[in-house]
Structure 1
Amino acid sequence: MLAANYQKYQQNSVLTASPQELTLMLYNGAIKSCNQGIEAIEEGKIEKAHQYITKTQDIILELKCTLDDKYPISKNFEELYDYIMMLLVDANITKNGERLLEAKAFITDFRDLWKEAMKASKSS
């Protein structure tokens, strides 16, 4: 019962979130998946690591799809997302936790920057 209520809460959160909040949720989801992938690698759970890393890749691809190319900075973001994807692919092939940590650091920086931008837009 509790799990069903939590799932319903999560679904409602996504359905009622603003585009800015959805982007933040994606960043948080990518970080969570990276952490789970790192843990799976450390525990030698190769299939689980693959699942978490591909989930992170899916999220990064979704973030990349949301870029609006009418803004010049979008090209920079696209290149950085491509670099993160390269790190994730390498981490998945080699099951290298260091590469996954590096990808997570970039994603965390993006998330933190996004949070600051959200704060600044609310205060103006």
Structure 2
Amino acid sequence: MNANVRQTYLGASVTTASPERLVVMLYQRLVLDLQRGRDAQAAGEREAAHTHLLHAQDIVMELRTSLRTDAWSGALALASLYDWMHTQLVLANTRCDVAMTEHVLALAEQLCDTWREAALQAAG
């Protein structure tokens, strides 16, 4: 598939997705960026790790800023978790710390699974 067709498809997927699906898509990309960042850190590829971890930080900040903290009782706790994840990613990036990246990755995978399940329930 050429790059233009892929971009068009991805663009259409994002613009037509439900809010729940968009959150899941963000989490899926967060997990991918963290996996790639961790792998690059482990291989000593600092520039690649930096790029992936910066993108992961951007996603966490997007999740944080789009979170409506007045919408439900657990929202403030989730906001605090996002803040913590962002701080950990900054440190993992600046220290090139694979263990810190893996810790955030494990948490992101759990959150991704939870949001995916919630989106399925909302759709069904």
- Normalized against structure 2, the TM-score is what? 0.93
Task: Give the Cα–Cα distance (whole angstroms) in 2 for the partners of residues 120 and 23 of structure 1.
Answer: 14
After the TM superposition, which of the residue ranges 114-123 and 70-79 deviates more from structure 2?
Answer: 114-123
2:76 maps to what in 1?
A: 75
2:64 maps to what in 1?
A: 64
Q: Offset of 1:42 from its aligned partner?
A: 1.6
Alignment partner of 1:84: what SS?
Answer: helix
| Paired letter, 1:52 | H
Point out 4+ residue stretches in structure 1 off by more than 4 angstroms. Answer: none
2:119 maps to what in 1?
A: 118
Alignment partner of 1:44: what SS?
Answer: coil
Alignment partner of 2:68: what SS?
Answer: coil
1:107 maps to what in 2?
A: 108
Q: Offset of 1:3 from its aligned partner?
A: 2.1
Q: Offset of 1:122 from its aligned partner?
A: 2.6
Identity %: 31
Structure 1 unpaired stretches of 5+: none
- Normalized against structure 1, the TM-score is what? 0.93
1:22 maps to what in 2?
A: 22
* RMSD of Structure 2 on Structure 1 (CA): 1.2
| Paired letter, 2:123 | K
**How many residues of Structure 1 are paired with residues of Structure 2 in the alignment?**
123
2:69 touches 2:79 (CA, 8 Å); kept in 1? Answer: no
Task: Give the Cα–Cα distance (whole angstroms) in 1 for the partners of residues 86 and 122 of structure 2.
Answer: 29
